Chain A
Amino acid sequence: MRRTTIWFIGILAVLAAAAGSLVYAQFDAGYYGQRNPGAIMQPAVQMEMDGAAYSVAAYPLYAPELAPGPGREDVQSYCSTCHSTRYITMQPPLPPETWTAEVNKMVKVMGQPIPEDVQPVIIKYLQTHYTPETRKP
């Protein structure tokens, strides 16, 4: 039983790798990693001699701190599929109706599947912390 499971996982992994190499036959994309702010890059020399592949290190992530309060976890999970939550903290304080419009755009135009009962929670959170009246420095 156990053995079968291991085999199954192994085959899955091989299939996944094959699928991955199909998609990324020409390039490799989307690698991000944490880095300490303020650290200057001192890259290791790329040593691969004969290939024609050109690579750079993973792109650093700088996660912002979102205001604490109800809805923060929903924002963290539903609003960071396609982009980091810096897209929220970078904005100037925006009026409540603009935040409603932004969330609606993400659902209707960009196709992010936020459940109907979670959408108002996310809108409420953004309006509670990121409007001209409510945003804290």
Chain B
Amino acid sequence: MVENRKLSRRKLLGTAAIAATAAAAGGLGTVASLFAQQPQVPGDEKSLPTFTGPSQNPYWNSVGPTVQYPQKFPLVLLTDRPVQLETPRHYFETAFTPNGAFYVRWHLDEIPNSVDLATWRLNVEGSVERPLKFSMSDLTGKFKPVTVAAVNQCSGNSRSKFQPRVPGGQWGQGAMGNAKWTGVPLRELLDAAKIKQDGLFVQFQGMDQGKGPEGHGSREFLKSLELKNSVLDDCIVAYAMNGEPLPMLNGFPVRLVVPGYFATYWMKGLSWIRVLDKPDENFWMKTGYRVPDTPRGNTTPEEIKAGNVKTVPISRMPVRSFIVTPDGATKLVAQLPVAVRGIAFSGYGSITKLEISVDDGKSFEVAELGEDFGPYSFRTWSYKWTLPKPGRYFLAARATDGKGNIQPDDGVWNPGGYLWNRIERQEVVVGRSS
């Protein structure tokens, strides 16, 4: 091992010396070609392209560089203003995603850098008998805290898997995370303010603002849920995430938690809860974040062009599962055991079964499920695979939820790039053991 290291170091020095000579003699072109001739170190990662497409993104994550933001670990950069950052694959080895690793997605560029809790208030207003303003100490002191484990997944998670590709944030699989959220039940805040009889919807607004003109989606980000929607009974105004304050980029001081629903409703920096007496006509409800009113939200570019597609606001997350390890970074050794591990979740209730295929989805065997943290949490799973003879294998994971929904083996297509939940695969190579 040490020998090898020495050797490669000497090799490197040699290369540098040649390169320097070449640069002096012949210019940059020669240097580049010299480096190109160097044999690639086995197992070296191929350097990623700067974009993927027009075919499907072949990687697990998106291809941006890793960058670091305040309170965050290095994450994959999608965009810098507004901020969109993706969580790297290996953070999904555990049921709960560390706050520092949790993905980030903002819609508007004026996002908080600083919040003064001396003046910050959560406003409950609109069609209510008693408009109220809650300080952070009101929220923590006047209400009994509740905690729920829930997955927060961006509606556009895995958008880069779509064929044909659609515009939007080109997420790989890492626009999701699972946390224990602690806070006040939304219904208790609404009850305290007493909803008027004409109340129909409840609208949420955070502190973020854009530079677009008044009344446009580029100025304000607003989301609403119908008051009669039973998901409101599960909603929490959360001031803690995995037992700690929320990172600024994940919605400090409080964010809405809508268990089972896509993250578009989980308003960050939540500061206004507004009861409406009519449906919400703003861009982010009427135009954005809508899916075809078809099975799985599936349609075709032709149907869209023909104008035949009725849409509805996106809501619950379909059942999904992910293989986290092995990731193909190295060959597996024939005859040695390996644990195939990953996570699964569904917006329709607990994961009841996880099956693994080692023959590209032709046959499946049941994997062992990890601890159950409730119906809206990630559930880890693991499958002991005794490796067969050397060769190439395609692993596939398939989850089933409590409602009996099974992950399908077909992609989905809609113009927003939403609701992807196809069975995921991982290619691995098994090598000889002697």
Contact = CB atoms under 8 A, between A and B. Distances in A.
Contacts of A90: 51, 64, 78-79, 169-170
B369 interface: no
A28 interface: yes
Given A41-B68, A59-B81, A92 B53 contact: yes
Nearest to A62: B80
A60 B117 contact: no
Interface string B336-354: 0000000000000000000
A69 interface: no
Given A94-B167, A110-B212, A28 B118 contact: no
Interface string A69-86: 000000000000111101
Given A26-B207, A89-B50, A109-B216, A52 B167 contact: no
A25 B68 contact: no
Nearest to B136: A52
Contacts of A94: 54, 165, 167
Contacts of A29: 110-114, 207-209
Nearest to B62: A90
Given A90-B51, A92-B165, A94-B165, A83 B113 contact: no
Interface residues of B, number: 60
A87 interface: yes
B295 interface: no
A31 interface: yes
Interface in A84-116: 84, 86-87, 89-94, 98, 102, 109-112
Interface in B21-53: 49-53
A7 interface: no
B114 A87 contact: no
Nearest to B253: A54
B83 interface: yes
Contacts, number: 163
B283 A92 contact: no
A28 B112 contact: yes
Given A57-B70, A111-B212, A135-B51, A30 B165 contact: no
Interface string B250-279: 001100000000000000010100000000
A40 B74 CA distance: 8
A112 B82 contact: no
Contacts of A8: none
Contacts of B160: 92
Interface string B92-120: 00000000000000001111111111111
Closest 9 pairs (CB-CB, A-B) = A92-B53, A30-B110, A56-B70, A55-B114, A28-B114, A52-B117, A53-B116, A110-B218, A84-B81
16 contacts: A25-B119, A29-B111, A30-B113, A41-B68, A51-B116, A53-B116, A54-B115, A54-B116, A59-B83, A82-B108, A86-B78, A90-B51, A91-B167, A110-B216, A111-B218, A137-B49
Interface of A: 25-32, 37, 39-41, 43, 51-63, 81-84, 86-87, 89-94, 98, 102, 109-112, 132, 135, 137
Given A53-B116, A62-B65, A94-B54, 19 more contacts: A27-B114, A27-B115, A29-B207, A29-B209, A30-B109, A41-B69, A43-B70, A52-B117, A53-B117, A54-B115, A55-B114, A56-B113, A59-B80, A61-B81, A83-B79, A89-B50, A91-B51, A94-B167, A137-B51
Interface of B: 49-54, 57, 64-65, 67-71, 74, 77-83, 108-121, 160, 165, 167, 169-170, 207-213, 216-218, 245, 248-249, 252-253, 269, 271, 283, 287
